[in-house]
Amino acid sequence: MWNLWCTRNKLVFDDIQPIVSTTVSAVYAQLQVLQRAFNNTISTALVRPTHEVCWQHGDNDTMVLNVDCSALTNPGKA
């Protein structure tokens, strides 16, 4: 949580764009520490490994939307 808070503050107050993969890796490393501390009782079912993606532009008459298929915090239509 501290790592996420610091990353968010750098974005909001210092206008420093975070590298998402670095932040996710740090959070995942902290989760692994917690798992060892609590004898692996923390589920990693919701943790997906990161992977690099690149944006592909469409033709002039095409709109491209990049999504991760998730609407976990959206109670309405996604």
Q: Three-state SS for 13? A: helix
**Is residue 76, in this structure, part of any structural domain at all?**
no
**Is residue 2, in this structure, part of any structural domain at all?**
yes
**Is residue 41, in this structure, part of any structural domain at all?**
yes
Q: How far is CA 37 from its chain centroid?
A: 23
Contact between 42 and 31 under an 8 Å Cβ cutoff? The reply is yes
Q: Which domain holds residue 63?
A: 1-69
pLDDT of residue 28: 84
Q: Is the pTM of this model over 0.75?
A: no
pLDDT in tens, 37-70: 887 765 655 556 666 767 777 777 877 776 666 6
**Is residue 49, in this structure, part of any structural domain at all?**
yes
**Is residue 43, in this structure, part of any structural domain at all?**
yes
**Is residue 22, in this structure, part of any structural domain at all?**
yes
Q: How many domains does the chain have?
A: 1
**Is residue 7, in this structure, part of any structural domain at all?**
yes
**Is residue 77, in this structure, part of any structural domain at all?**
no
